[in-house]
Amino acid sequence: MYRDEILPGTLYLLVLKTLARPDKMHGYEIANSMQRTSEDVLQVEEGSLYPALQRMFIKGWVTTKWGTTAGNRRARYYQLTAAGRKQSAVERSQFECVIGAITLVIEAV
């Protein structure tokens, strides 16, 4: 989903973590926020955020609500649900598990 720079399967974790902040965000803000936080390391195919958000919504991890942006445009805002928060922890531990495994392999060489 992200181009080669990012580990597959981590998009959910990134989005969940980004949304974990108290203020709700729309798609463009999420993309920008992720990029900023990663100090521009994580270059994304920005559009792939939307299918991911869609899936997360279907799974019940986020809720959506239409609102108005600062520029007075209609936008869909996303907010984490309780299930989403729980999932965030799950994704995180999975991620750490994978990273740990990779580290082990790298250091063994």
Q: Using CB under 8 A, list all residues that contact another protein.
A: 26-28, 31, 44-48, 50-51, 54-55, 58, 69, 73-76
Residue closer to another protein, measured from CB, 28 or 93: 28
Long-range contacts of 64-67 (CB under 8 A, 24+ apart): 65/24, 67/24, 67/26
Dig out the tokens for 13 from the structure: 């974790």
Q: Which is nearer to another protein, 46 or 98 (CB)?
A: 46
CB of residue 27 vs another protein: minimum separation in angstroms?
5
User: CB of residue 102 vs another protein: minimum separation in angstroms?
Assistant: 27
C-beta of 70: minimal distance to another protein in Å? 11
